[in-house]
């Protein structure tokens, strides 16, 4: 990963958890787990509170179909880590209702909502026509799936998540068994609301800077171009982008917070646009 704090900056309980699970599985914990266990009071708690019901709670969509929608979102963001992971999870969580290698065989309702979510993910003016005949609750549930992965895909790209040998099989099965939940002792106290957690609570950066990173409004160099890349083209973020921020005197914790804020801000903007399009239809 591009930030050393995401590799080695964890609290003692998280370090022990990573060491024990790595020993039991025979492979190091995946980058997504290391990321979520770093400062879990900043983003992880509200993100998991959103993710678990979105991906494994009661829904119009099967667990396999929701994994397929997650994979489709990752393709929009050109996030190889998440594409491969959710393709495997589609197979694990599903019962043959959707094959990631043969999507045309899926039920028409899934393909319709996939087209709508692709528009939402691109921050375009989403066209609600594909989902006009779907139950409103079904579309609302799909939008929550999309919100989660519009955040995570950007972070995976920006922080340079990679899969090591053996991690795909062990990591996806562990994630599926856990239902996208972490043991409570690994989570820190903090706001349960995603917006409050990322944009309002005290941190290394000011709330004003984080809110600016979310929108780009009033953001000064060198944050301006970096945050824009995270929001609009996270797959283009490079090691050099992070090195330039460090060379400009910014700490890794500041980079972590601005990156999260930019990713969350872009995802929330798309989510709100998707909901607005449905109301106007």
Nearest partner of 234 among 198, 269, 260, 207, judged by Cα: 260
Residue 31 confidence (pLDDT) above 70: yes
pTM as predicted = 0.96
pLDDT for 19 equals 95
Q: How many CB atoms lie within 10 A of CB 240?
A: 9
Domains of the chain, first to last: 5-178 (1.20.1290.10), 194-280 (no CATH)
Percent of the chain predicted with pLDDT > 70: 100
Q: Which residues 6+ apart lie within 8 Å of 96 measured at CB?
A: none
Using CA atoms, how far residue 69 sits from 12, 28, 144, 223, in Å, is 35, 27, 11, 31
Q: What are phi and psi of 78, to 5 degrees?
A: 55, 50
Taking the C-alpha atoms of residue 213 and residue 144, their distance in angstroms, rounded to an integer, is 22
Over residues 189-209, the mean pLDDT reads 95
pLDDT confidence of residue 280: 79
The pLDDT of residue 276 is 95
Strands (E), 18-60: none
- Inform me whether the pLDDT recorded for 124 exceeds 90: no
| Average pLDDT of the residues in 126-151 | 97
Stretch 107-116: mean pLDDT = 97
Asked whether the bond before 204 is cis by omega within 30 degrees of 0, the reply is no
| SS3 state of residue 219 | coil
Nearest to 270 by CA among 121, 130, 157: 121
pLDDT of 281 > 70? The answer is no
Can you give the pLDDT at residue 210? 98
Tally the C-alpha atoms within 13 A of residue 48's C-alpha that lie toward its C-beta. Answer: 24
Query: pLDDT tier at 125 (50, 70, 90 boundaries)?
Result: confident
pLDDT in the model for residue 14: 96
Nearest to 42 by CA among 208, 206, 251, 199: 199
Nearest to 192 by CA among 35, 45, 44: 45
Give yes or no for residue 189 having a pLDDT over 90.
no
Among 136, 208, 164, 120, which Cα is nearest to 7's?
Answer: 164
Quote the DSSP letter at residue 256.
H
């Amino acid at each position: 990963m591009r930030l050393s704090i995401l590799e080695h900056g964890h609290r003692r309980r998280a370090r022990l958890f990573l060491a024990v699970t790595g020993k039991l599985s025979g492979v190091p914990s995946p980058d997504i787990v290391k990321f979520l266990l770093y400062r879990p009071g900043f983003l992880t708690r509200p993100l998991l509170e959103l993710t678990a019901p979105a991906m494994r709670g009661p829904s119009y969509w099967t667990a396999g179909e929701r994994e397929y929608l997650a994979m489709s979102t990752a393709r929009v963001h050109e996030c190889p880590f998440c594409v491969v992971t959710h393709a495997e999870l589609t197979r694990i969580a599903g019962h043959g209702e959707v094959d990631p290698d043969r999507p045309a065989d899926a039920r028409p309702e899934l393909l319709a909502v996939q087209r709508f979510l692709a528009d939402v993910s691109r921050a375009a003016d989403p066209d609600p026509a594909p989902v006009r005949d779907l139950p409103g609750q079904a579309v609302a549930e799909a939008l929550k799936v999309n919100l989660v992965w519009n955040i995570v895909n950007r972070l995976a790209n920006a922080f340079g998540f990679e899969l090591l040998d053996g991690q795909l099989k062990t990591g996806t099965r562990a994630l599926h068994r856990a239902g996208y939940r972490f043991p409570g002792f690994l989570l820190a106290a903090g706001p349960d609301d995603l917006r409050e957690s990322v944009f309002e609570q005290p941190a290394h950066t000011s709330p004003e800077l984080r809110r600016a990173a979310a929108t780009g409004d009033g953001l000064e160099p060198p944050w301006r171009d970096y945050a824009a890349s995270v929001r609009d083209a996270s797959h283009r973020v490079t090691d050099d982008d992070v090195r330039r921020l460090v060379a400009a005197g910014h700490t890794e914790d500041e980079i972590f917070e601005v990156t999260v804020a930019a990713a969350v801000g872009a995802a929330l903007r798309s989510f709100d646009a998707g909901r607005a399009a449905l109301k106007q239809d």
